[in-house]
A and B are shown apart, each in its own frame.
Chain A
Amino acid sequence: MKDLLVRWLIVPALLLAYAAAANAQYDVIITDFAGKRAPVAIVPFGWEGQDAAEPFDVDDVISADLYRSGRFAPTPEDGMLQKPTASVDIDFDDWLILKVDAVVIGKVIQTGDNAYSVQFQAFDVHTREQLVGYRMPASRGTMRRVAHRAADMIYEKLTGIPGVFGTKVAYVTAKGTETDRTYTLVVSDADGENQFTIMESSDPIMSPAWSPDSRELAYVSFENNVSTVFVQTLRSGNRIKVSSRPGINGAPSFSPDGRKLVLTLGGIDGNLDINVLDLATRQVTRLTTNRSIDTEGTWSPDGRSIYFTSDRSGGPQVYRVGVDGGTPERVTFEGSYNARPRLSPDGSKLALVHLSRGDYRVAVLDLRSKDLLVVSEGMQDESPSFAPNSDSLIYATSYGGDGVLEMVSADGVYRQRLTSRQGDIREPVWSPFPRY
């Protein structure tokens, strides 16, 4: 594995524009900014069944997933010297000629009316050994998820990092004019497919946050010109009003156990403070009392502290306070503007919005070394959210006058833009890992 990784670093950078699966809902136009792609071959899967063709193009989804990670360059099908579907048919010399590091083969086998078996194997072309092989049952309805799961397994074997192709992303869109706008809260697969609008309003929607079990989203809605925090169950669409006090109700974020929300409450006098709401008892505990703006609270993965934005020192900076209160401790010191903290799920890094020479950029603060790394290059970049593998971030930026999403690796090396034709798209939040 180490060998593979080292080889990738010497592969020349590819600058490509690539439209993923034709019906992708983001209209995923991927633009590479940096990073080197390793050549891999995803051979078209074989088909064994009564129907003329397989019901779903599994290898196409795997290929698009690996491409979208920024780390791989799948070999075009028409450049392949052979298209084996069984391991005995692989001629590794053919793939060495194409300078491919890994080759993936597979089959879709029909086992019933709407029952299939999807199998795949990935091989290291240099060692000629199998890296991973797996067989999964599928129906027409689950075939796409099965393909993402296969891509996740292949990705983890090749990089040592768990894949996040089976995850979801929630985001907010805004369309229309200044005086007539429609806001939607959307949940889609991480590749932009299966878009589902869970809430639509002529008043602003903001700050979506996933529950740790991925079943619910908390968000702020301004229906009737007041701010209200709702928690909505995705499957049923039912929602509960969990905070509608006078003044500001904002910035919800779930505790790791899912039982509490950290919220910003402003009260009638508009002093924004960090509060914790127990979802079962509805009891509210105020954690900060400073007269400054204290907002954008987020839990540490261990559940013991809350990071938040405060301008108690003048400009906004990130602070940390224990869940039982106490004196907040300042976390960020570099620069005049550090806001909207989000912890990586492994607890080692903090993503935030950082003012860098006049531009608002996404930066990653290494909590151990205290190094701050700017990972985006726009002027108005905001709302960073870590993938559940802690290795990538998604954030909102501006491109051609519209809000668009970009994904970047936490080291800033791999970055792609996901272009949309949905108007303004903002506030992406990456879901936890799916439950298989």
Chain B
Amino acid sequence: MKIQKLIFAGLVALLAAGCGGNTIPDPDADAGTMVDSGDDGITDGMNDGGLGMGEEFGDSMDQMDELTMIIYFDFDQSDLRAEYSDLLQRHASRLAGDSRAQIRLEGHADERGSREYNIGLGERRSQAVRRLLLIQGASANQISTVSFGEERPAAFGSDESAYELNRRVEIKYTN
């Protein structure tokens, strides 16, 4: 489980880094809850994946003090994957610790199906994130939601590799 979580965190951080502007410094980085401290087994595992994977992991280590801003979803789902629990806890803590902080949750869907219904699916995802953040200590007045449905895809294309990048909630700190 640790390995999976670590790999995933690395990938997400990479995606965020690649997109630019999707991450912000995390004041709680010292807590280090996102990634376990250096574990040889894990590092070895990554290296087994090839040289390229090893380098990518190194990049992700540089992103450790930043919070991931994009949460992905399975097809036709608004359930939050377990792997995001730490990340969302950290966003909630950040909001709870700074009452002036504000976020906008931007829900998105892949292109399949009708457009306004997809607005509904994107909103359902935003609300799933919102509810968890509220439970974990954020205040209602710190969070607004919007759904872009399929109107603002992160990746063009009509295949699953594009769809899985498009089914997402982006967390935008507006203050």
Measured CB to CB, the residues of A under 8 A from B are: 174, 178, 181, 204, 206-207, 222, 225-227, 246-248, 250-251, 264, 266, 268-270, 272, 293, 295-296, 309, 311, 316, 337, 339-340, 353, 355, 360, 379-380, 382-383, 398, 401, 426-427
With A178-B156, A248-B119 known to touch, is A269 a contact of B127 (CB < 8 Å)?
A: yes
With A272-B120, A295-B120 known to touch, is A225 a contact of B112 (CB < 8 Å)?
A: no
Contact present for A206 and B115 (CB under 8 Å)? yes
With A225-B106, A293-B121, A295-B120 known to touch, is A270 a contact of B154 (CB < 8 Å)?
A: no
Residues of B contacting A226 with CB < 8 Å?
146
Contact present for A178 and B155 (CB under 8 Å)? yes
Residues of B contacting A316 with CB < 8 Å?
113-114, 117
Contact present for A427 and B120 (CB under 8 Å)? no
CA of A222 to CA of B146, assembled, Å: 9
Residues of A contacting B113 with CB < 8 Å?
316, 337, 339, 353, 355, 360, 382
Contact present for A270 and B148 (CB under 8 Å)? no
| B65 CB, min distance to chain A CBs, angstroms | 25
With A225-B146, A226-B146 known to touch, is A380 a contact of B111 (CB < 8 Å)?
A: yes
Interface string of B5-25 (1 = CB under 8 A from A): 000000000000000000000
Q: List 18 other contacts, CB 8 Å, given A266-B123, A316-B117.
A: A178-B156, A206-B116, A206-B149, A207-B116, A225-B146, A227-B146, A248-B146, A268-B145, A309-B117, A311-B117, A311-B120, A337-B113, A339-B113, A339-B117, A360-B114, A382-B114, A398-B158, A401-B158
Interface string of B126-156 (1 = CB under 8 A from A): 1100100000000010001111110111111
- B166 (CB) vs chain A CBs: closest residue: A178
Residues of A contacting B126 with CB < 8 Å?
270
| B103 CB, min distance to chain A CBs, angstroms | 12
Contact present for B146 and A251 (CB under 8 Å)? no
26 A-B pairs within 8 Å (CB atoms) are namely A178-B156, A181-B152, A204-B152, A207-B116, A225-B104, A225-B146, A247-B145, A248-B120, A248-B147, A266-B123, A266-B147, A268-B140, A269-B127, A272-B119, A293-B117, A295-B120, A296-B116, A311-B117, A311-B120, A316-B117, A340-B115, A340-B117, A360-B113, A380-B112, A380-B158, A427-B115
Measured CB to CB, the residues of B under 8 A from A are: 104, 106, 111-117, 119-121, 123-124, 126-127, 130, 140, 144-149, 151-156, 158, 172
What's the dominant secondary structure at chain B's contact region? mixed
Residue in contact with A270 in the complex, picked from B114, B145, B172, CB distance below 8 Å:
B145
CA of A380 to CA of B109, assembled, Å: 14
* Interface core residue of A246, A248, A383 (most chain B CB under 10 Å): A248
* Interface core residue of B115, B126, B127, B158 (most chain A CB under 10 Å): B115
| B52 CB, min distance to chain A CBs, angstroms | 24
| B155 CB, min distance to chain A CBs, angstroms | 7
CA of A360 to CA of B118, assembled, Å: 13
CA of A313 to CA of B106, assembled, Å: 26
| A91 CB, min distance to chain B CBs, angstroms | 54
* Interface core residue of B119, B148, B153 (most chain A CB under 10 Å): B119
- A224 (CB) vs chain B CBs: closest residue: B146
CA of A246 to CA of B115, assembled, Å: 20
Residues of A contacting B106 with CB < 8 Å?
225
Residues of A contacting B114 with CB < 8 Å?
296, 309, 316, 339-340, 353, 360, 382-383
Residues of A contacting B120 with CB < 8 Å?
248, 264, 266, 272, 293, 295, 311
CA of A379 to CA of B158, assembled, Å: 10
Contact present for B147 and A178 (CB under 8 Å)? no
Contact present for A295 and B127 (CB under 8 Å)? no
Residues of B contacting A353 with CB < 8 Å?
113-114
Contact present for B145 and A295 (CB under 8 Å)? no
Residues of B contacting A181 with CB < 8 Å?
152
- B121 (CB) vs chain A CBs: closest residue: A293
Contact present for B117 and A296 (CB under 8 Å)? yes
* Interface core residue of B112, B113, B140, B147 (most chain A CB under 10 Å): B113
Contact present for A222 and B119 (CB under 8 Å)? no
With A247-B145, A270-B123 known to touch, is A264 a contact of B116 (CB < 8 Å)?
A: yes
* Interface core residue of B114, B121, B151, B154 (most chain A CB under 10 Å): B114
Contact present for A206 and B151 (CB under 8 Å)? yes
Pairs of residues from A and B, 4 with the lowest C-beta to C-beta distance, nearest first: A293-B120, A204-B151, A340-B114, A270-B127
| B49 CB, min distance to chain A CBs, angstroms | 28
CA of A339 to CA of B123, assembled, Å: 17
CA of A251 to CA of B116, assembled, Å: 6
* Interface core residue of B120, B126, B144, B151 (most chain A CB under 10 Å): B120
| B78 CB, min distance to chain A CBs, angstroms | 10
Residues of A contacting B140 with CB < 8 Å?
268
Contact present for A204 and B116 (CB under 8 Å)? no
Residues of B contacting A246 with CB < 8 Å?
144
CA of A401 to CA of B104, assembled, Å: 31
Residue in contact with B124 in the complex, picked from A250, A264, A270, A360, CB distance below 8 Å:
A270
CA of A426 to CA of B115, assembled, Å: 10
* Interface core residue of B106, B121, B126, B151 (most chain A CB under 10 Å): B151
- A225 (CB) vs chain B CBs: closest residue: B146
- A296 (CB) vs chain B CBs: closest residue: B116
CA of A427 to CA of B114, assembled, Å: 10
